[in-house]
């Protein structure tokens, strides 16, 4: 069963086609990487799927419902690129706010806060005010907030931008553990080297998907040494979708 | 709509203040500072105006060889010396030269026949050669002279042909200028601070994308706006309590009516202002742009709301703009309650106007958070 189904999605901002006739299918339980340079349209796709903006045309379904439906909010988690934490609150107070907004059962809040804080290894900083935290800690706190209400589908927009290599490795370890617990994880990134951790990747260029599949396959099909080179080849030929891209759906773990 | 989510947003605002002492300082001390500055600068009477009196009055002798009685001296003695600092001169030319040099505000000259004329009930003229470059000073000189004249007449037993008795006032019997001013200061401080603070807070919510994160939860736009409204309504009431207490303690302002009603008006004004702040934040992409909007809020409120000048002082074509601003009604309502002692049976039109603004701005603020098409 698919977690996300997107067909003919178009988003036009001031005459610019940020997303241009995009088709995308993401299966439940996979870690899917939406790859591409800045401005490729990745964030716009995520924002449409989360329901923050409306598409100009086309169809976007999330967990079998139209994207943006409020009923979906309880089942999805979202970590924006900007981290989106309240700087003047402690980590714990940030978590409290979202626990209430998600109407978590009160007896569940305390233990669950501890779980997510342990998950991101931040339990000893829970009473620190966010603006006092280092950049890496803020990234971890932001992930903790997105995980708090135990969503089955996670949208992580550039979760590793500006994060040091060690922490990035830790993050990908976390995403693997989430997948193991049955969570579907959709990640955007412009670090091509990270994408090898994904089950499948979709390469975006100028609002379109130019290639899709397991990282190794995409690299092989493009006749490249790595994803970076594959992307450069595909982007410069401007070939649009590879014929095999859509058919490679069966990579589920 | 879920109360728990509304309250969560309210709690978030207060928790933010808990760690942000500067914002708390702004909320609590800025209104007090504003009231102190306005109270002292505007509400205080003008004192120590230096004037020169040239008294040519020869007086009237009750009997031959007796010392002449000079009513002009009784007049001068009756002038409030706190207001006018009086210097004497015999020479009109040198006295006027002092005014010309800016060392004095006016020369006041009593004519030679002053006493004779008053006693004989014949018209007489006190001449004032004044520097009218500052109208407030000039008006204060005239008022001091009028008060002095009244007092002198009363003491000497000479009756004026026309008397105006305004001591039995309908409202504001003991009102001073500060009593008119301070309800305006309260309105201005609460409107301005709340609008600015919500506008900046909400611009930050947009820039930091915390607003996106809120909207990605089950919370609706209305719940978020109401959560903020509740927080700023409470803060506004709190500010009003501080300001009124301070006004009573420091400026002895009149409070003829119900304090609760006054607090209700300020709470509604604060809530309306925060909704306006949210609305205005949607026009800014960065905090810097939001700061540029501050004059757009300050100037109309300051100039058009009848906060510091009566609406009657405005050209009639500007009045419709005044009536399009919530602080106009808040200031009118507060003045009616505090000085006239009116109850809800008579200030309901102002109250209703603010409630209408509140509903309108809350709806618009919620719509402004809707996802963009």
Say whether A54 and B215 touch across the interface (CB within 8 A).
no
- Asked if pLDDT for residue A146 goes beyond 70, the answer is yes
In the Cβ-directed half-sphere of A230, how many Cα atoms lie within 13 Å?
Answer: 29
pLDDT score at B95: 95
Which residues is A35 bridged to in the sheet?
Answer: A189, A203
Q: Which residues of B touch A50 (CB under 8 A)?
A: 212, 216
Q: How do the domains of chain A map onto residue ranges?
A: 29-54+71-237
Mean pLDDT, all residues of chain A: 89
Which of A31-40, A144-153, B34-43, B239-248 has the least mean pLDDT? B34-43
Say whether B2 and A81 touch across the interface (CB within 8 A).
no
Torsion angle (degrees, nearest 10) of CA A14, A18, A22, A27 = -130
Cβ atoms of A234 and A213 within 8 Å: the answer is no
- Asked if pLDDT for residue B39 goes beyond 60, the answer is yes
Q: Please tell me the distance from the alpha carbon of residue B367 to that of residue B101, in angstroms, as a whole number.
A: 62
Q: How many other C-beta atoms lie within 10 A of the C-beta of residue B318? A: 11
Which of A76-80, A125-129, B280-284 has the least mean pLDDT? B280-284
Say whether A88 and B16 touch across the interface (CB within 8 A).
yes
- The whole-model pTM stands at 0.83
What percentage of chain A carries pLDDT values higher than 70?
Answer: 93
Q: Please tell me the distance from the alpha carbon of residue B230 to that of residue B198, in angstroms, as a whole number.
A: 12
Asked if CATH classification 3.40.1710.10 holds for the domain at B46-156, the reply, yes or no, is yes
- Asked if pLDDT for residue A239 goes beyond 90, the answer is no
- Asked if pLDDT for residue A243 goes beyond 60, the answer is no
Q: Please tell me the distance from the alpha carbon of residue A204 to that of residue A210, in angstroms, as a whole number.
A: 6
- Residues from A in contact with B at Cβ < 8 Å: 47, 50-54, 68, 70, 73-74, 76, 78, 80-90, 93, 96-98, 100-103, 129, 145
Region A40-53: what's the mean pLDDT?
94
Q: Which long-range contacts (CB under 8 A, 24 or more apart) does B347-356 make?
A: B347/B261, B347/B265, B350/B265, B351/B264, B351/B265, B351/B268, B353/B326, B353/B329, B354/B265, B354/B268, B354/B269, B354/B272, B354/B326, B354/B329, B354/B330, B355/B268
Per-residue pLDDT tens over the stretch A14-28: 889 999 999 999 999
Q: Which residues of B touch A53 (CB under 8 A)?
A: 371-372
Of A70, A83, A87, the CB nearest to B218: A70
pLDDT score at B222: 94
* Start-to-end CA span in chain B (Å): 23
> A50: nearest CA in chain B?
B216
Say whether A51 and B220 touch across the interface (CB within 8 A).
no
pLDDT score at A11: 95
Of A52, A76, A93, the CB nearest to B371: A52
For chain A, helix, strand, coil in percent to 5 are 40, 25, 35
Say whether B11 and A100 touch across the interface (CB within 8 A).
yes
Say whether A93 and B372 touch across the interface (CB within 8 A).
no
Q: Please tell me the distance from the alpha carbon of residue A29 to that of residue A244, in angstroms, as a whole number.
A: 22
Query: Whose structure tokens read 């500010």?
Result: B239
pLDDT score at B44: 62
Of A54, A98, A129, the CB nearest to B217: A98
Q: Which residues of A touch B372 (CB under 8 A)?
A: 53-54
Class of domain A29-54+71-237: alpha beta
Instruction: Determine the distance in angstroms separating the CA of B1 from the nearest CA of chain A, rounded to an integer.
Output: 11
Q: At B367, is the pLDDT very low, low, confident or very high (cuts 50, 70, 90)?
A: very high
Say whether A101 and B214 touch across the interface (CB within 8 A).
yes
Q: How do the domains of chain B map onto residue ranges?
A: 3-42+172-369, 46-156
Q: Please tell me the distance from the alpha carbon of residue B115 to that of residue B76, in angstroms, as a whole number.
A: 13
Region B31-44: what's the mean pLDDT?
78
Concatenated DSSP letters of A117-136: HHHTT-GGGTTSBGGGS-HH
* Start-to-end CA span in chain A (Å): 13
Say whether B371 and A98 touch across the interface (CB within 8 A).
no
pLDDT score at B203: 92
What percentage of chain A carries pLDDT values higher than 90?
Answer: 71
- Asked if pLDDT for residue A84 goes beyond 50, the answer is yes
Say whether A86 and B210 touch across the interface (CB within 8 A).
yes
Angle, CA of B356, A101 and A113, to the nearest 5°:
155
Region B48-69: what's the mean pLDDT?
90
> B218: nearest CA in chain A?
A73
Instruction: Determine the distance in angstroms separating the CA of B373 from the nearest CA of chain A, rounded to an integer.
Output: 5
Ranges A219-228, B237-246, B286-295, B328-337, most confident: B328-337
Q: At B371, is the pLDDT very low, low, confident or very high (cuts 50, 70, 90)?
A: low
Q: Which residues of B touch A93 (CB under 8 A)?
A: 12, 15
Region B76-104: what's the mean pLDDT?
93
Say whether A52 and B214 touch across the interface (CB within 8 A).
no
- Asked if pLDDT for residue A247 goes beyond 60, the answer is no
Q: Which two tokens stand for residue A41?
A: 């349209």
- Asked if pLDDT for residue A60 goes beyond 50, the answer is yes
Per-residue pLDDT tens over the stretch B175-203: 877 888 889 989 999 999 899 989 998 99
Q: Please tell me the distance from the alpha carbon of residue A95 to that of residue A72, in angstroms, as a whole number.
A: 20
Per-residue pLDDT tens over the stretch A86-122: 999 999 999 999 999 999 999 999 999 999 999 999 9
The interface pTM score, or ipTM, of the predicted complex is 0.89
> CB under 8 Å to B234, separation ≥6 — which residues?
B10, B267
Per-residue pLDDT tens over the stretch A173-184: 999 999 999 999
Rounded to 5 degrees, what are φ and ψ at B364? Answer: -65, -40
* Three-class DSSP category at B132: coil
pLDDT score at B161: 66
Say whether B215 and A88 touch across the interface (CB within 8 A).
no
Instruction: Determine the distance in angstroms separating the CA of A193 from the nearest CA of chain B, rounded to an integer.
Output: 27
Residue A52: closest CA among B128, B326, B313, B217: B217
Q: At A245, is the pLDDT very low, low, confident or very high (cuts 50, 70, 90)?
A: very low
H helices of A165-244, in order, are 165-180, 215-222, 227-237
Q: Please tell me the distance from the alpha carbon of residue A161 to that of residue B38, in angstroms, as a whole number.
A: 51
Cβ atoms of A44 and B363 within 8 Å: the answer is no
Q: Which residues of A touch B213 (CB under 8 A)?
A: 78, 80, 84, 98, 145
Say whether B4 and A103 touch across the interface (CB within 8 A).
yes
The radius of gyration of chain B from alpha carbons, rounded to an integer in Å, stands at: 28
Q: At A250, is the pLDDT very low, low, confident or very high (cuts 50, 70, 90)?
A: very low
Q: Which residues of A touch B207 (CB under 8 A)?
A: 82
Sheet of strand B127-130: strand arrangement: B84-89, B49-55, B106-110, B127-130
Say whether B215 and A52 touch across the interface (CB within 8 A).
yes
pLDDT score at B293: 87
Of A83, A89, A145, the CB nearest to B16: A89
Rounded to 5 degrees, what are φ and ψ at A181? Answer: -85, 5
**Mutating which of A53, A86, A95 best tests the B interface, going by the most B Cβ atoms within 10 A?**
A86
**Mutating which of B213, B220, B226, B371 best tests the A interface, going by the most A Cβ atoms within 10 A?**
B213
Q: Which two tokens stand for residue B223?
A: 């719940």
Q: Which residues of B touch A10 (CB under 8 A)?
A: none
Chain A to chain B Cβ contacts (< 8 Å): 86
Q: Please tell me the distance from the alpha carbon of residue B173 to that of residue B167, in angstroms, as a whole number.
A: 7
Alpha-carbon distances of A93 from A109, A110, B10, B198, rounded to whole Å: 12, 12, 13, 20
Q: Which residues of A touch B19 (CB under 8 A)?
A: 88-90, 129
Cβ atoms of A145 and A89 within 8 Å: the answer is no
Say whether B19 and A76 touch across the interface (CB within 8 A).
no
């Amino acid at each position: 069963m698919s977690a996300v189904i997107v067909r003919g999605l178009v988003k036009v901002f001031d005459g610019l086609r940020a997303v241009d006739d995009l088709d995308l299918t993401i299966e439940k339980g996979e870690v899917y990487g939406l790859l591409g340079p800045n401005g490729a349209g990745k964030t716009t796709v995520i924002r449409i799927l989360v329901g923050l903006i409306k598409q100009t045309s086309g169809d976007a379904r999330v967990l079998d419902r139209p994207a943006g439906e409020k009923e979906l909010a309880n089942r999805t988690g979202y970590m924006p690129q900007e981290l989106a934490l309240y700087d003047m609150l402690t980590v714990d107070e940030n978590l409290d706010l979202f626990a209430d907004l998600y109407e978590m059962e009160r007896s569940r809040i305390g233990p669950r806060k501890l779980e997510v804080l342990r998950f991101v290894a931040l339990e000893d900083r829970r009473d620190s005010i966010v603006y006092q935290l280092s950049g890496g800690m803020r990234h971890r706190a932001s992930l903790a907030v997105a995980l708090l209400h135990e969503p089955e589908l996670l949208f992580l927009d550039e979760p590793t931008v500006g994060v040091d290599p060690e922490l990035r490795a830790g993050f990908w370890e976390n995403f693997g553990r989430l997948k193991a617990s049955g969570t579907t994880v959709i990640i955007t990134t412009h670090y091509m080297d990270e994408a090898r951790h994904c089950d499948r990747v979709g390469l975006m260029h100028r609002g379109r998907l130019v290639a899709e599949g397991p990282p190794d396959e995409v690299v092989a099909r493009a006749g490249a040494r790595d994803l970076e080179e594959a992307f450069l080849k595909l982007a410069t030929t401007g070939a649009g979708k590879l014929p095999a891209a859509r058919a490679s759906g069966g990579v589920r773990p | 709509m879920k109360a728990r989510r509304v309250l969560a947003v309210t709690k978030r605002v207060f928790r933010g203040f808990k760690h942000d002492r500067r914002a708390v300082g702004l909320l609590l001390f800025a209104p007090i500072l504003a009231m102190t500055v306005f109270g002292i600068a505007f509400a205080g009477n003008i004192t120590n105006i230096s004037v020169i009196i040239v008294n040519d009055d020869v007086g009237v002798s009750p009997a031959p060889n007796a010392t002449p009685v000079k009513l002009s001296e009784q007049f001068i003695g009756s002038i409030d010396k706190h207001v006018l600092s009086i210097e004497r001169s015999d020479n009109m030319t040198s006295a006027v030269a002092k005014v010309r040099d800016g060392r004095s505000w006016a020369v006041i000259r009593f004519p030679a026949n002053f006493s004779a004329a008053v006693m004989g009930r014949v018209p007489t003229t006190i001449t004032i050669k004044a520097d009218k470059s500052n109208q407030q000073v000039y008006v204060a000189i005239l008022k001091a002279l009028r008060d002095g004249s009244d007092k002198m007449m009363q003491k000497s037993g000479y009756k004026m042909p026309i008397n105006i008795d305004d001591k039995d006032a309908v409202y504001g019997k003991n009102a001073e200028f500060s009593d008119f001013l301070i309800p305006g200061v309260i309105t201005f401080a609460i409107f301005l601070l709340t609008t600015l603070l919500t506008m900046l807070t909400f611009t930050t919510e947009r820039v930091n994308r915390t607003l996106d994160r809120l909207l990605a939860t089950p919370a609706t736009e209305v719940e978020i706006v109401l959560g903020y409204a509740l927080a700023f309504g409470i803060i506004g009431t709190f500010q009003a309590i501080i300001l009124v207490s301070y006004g009573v303690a420091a400026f002895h302002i009149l409070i003829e009516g119900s304090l609760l009603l006054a607090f209700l008006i300020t709470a509604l004004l604060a809530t309306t202002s925060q909704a306006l702040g949210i609305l205005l934040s949607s026009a800014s992409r960065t905090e810097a742009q939001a700061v540029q909007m501050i004059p757009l809020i300050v100037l109309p409120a300051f100039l058009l709301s009848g906060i510091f000048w009566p609406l009657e002082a405005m050209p009639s074509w500007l009045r419709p703009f005044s009536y399009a601003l919530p602080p106009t009604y808040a200031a009118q309502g507060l003045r009616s309650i505090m000085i006239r002692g009116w109850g809800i049976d008579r200030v309901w039109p102002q109250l209703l106007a603010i409630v209408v603004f509140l509903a309108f701005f809350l709806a618009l603020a919620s719509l402004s958070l809707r996802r963009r098409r």
